[in-house]
Amino acid sequence: MELHTNRWYVQWFFLSLRVIDRFTGGNDEYWHAENGMSTNLCQFMRVTLIWAPLVVALNLAVYGLVLSALIFVPLYYFGLDGSLTIYGAILIFFTAVALLAFLFWVAVTLTSIIRDGSSELAYVLRRRKERKAAERTTNGPSFGSLIWQYVVAVKRRVCPIITFKQA
């Protein structure tokens, strides 16, 4: 089975390998790059559907605990009024920075549209649509069909080899 590296689930697989490598201190990503960029379907599905989401969930739990501590400690020590004052000042600052960045982006975008004209924008949108249609025809199997092939492979107890093709 051959999968294109531009598909989202293949990119998620390599990102998952990187996440797991950072978590465990291993070198799976390097091994896959050195050994011809191939794996089997069972390992591909285990990494993308089980191990990487589990590592991400554990990291989110840790960050959630830290964030809850940042919320509950000020509430405990400063009370509701003091905490709202602190949070309000922080929120006003970040909102002002985000609003300023958004207004700057809008101004740059509007000036470029006015300068370049709307015909170029229509041309770019049409080219993007044509490119996506061409990519759909050459991308390979969908993620749903991969899951079905995985179920069949588990039932037969034979996992096909996956090779990755540069797009």
Q: How many angstroms separate the Cα of 63 from the Cα of each of 7, 57, 71?
A: 30, 10, 12
The structure tokens 């600052």 sit at 93
Q: What percent of the chain has pLDDT over 70?
A: 87
Domain count of the fold of the chain? 1
**Domain limits at 27?**
2-165
Least confident of 9-13, 15-19, 84-88, 136-140: 136-140
* H or E stretch covering 163: strand 161-165
pTM of the model: 0.56
What angle is formed at CA 164 by the lines to CA 159 and CA 165, rounded to 5 degrees? 140
Could you give the CA distance from residue 70 to residue 24 in angstroms, rounded to a whole number? 28
Could you give the CA distance from residue 11 to residue 37 in angstroms, rounded to a whole number? 13
> Tell me: the pLDDT tens digits for 98-130?
999 999 999 988 887 777 666 666 777 888 888
Q: Which of 75, 124, 117, 11 is nearest to 19 (CA)?
A: 11
**What mean pLDDT, rounded, does the chain reach?**
83
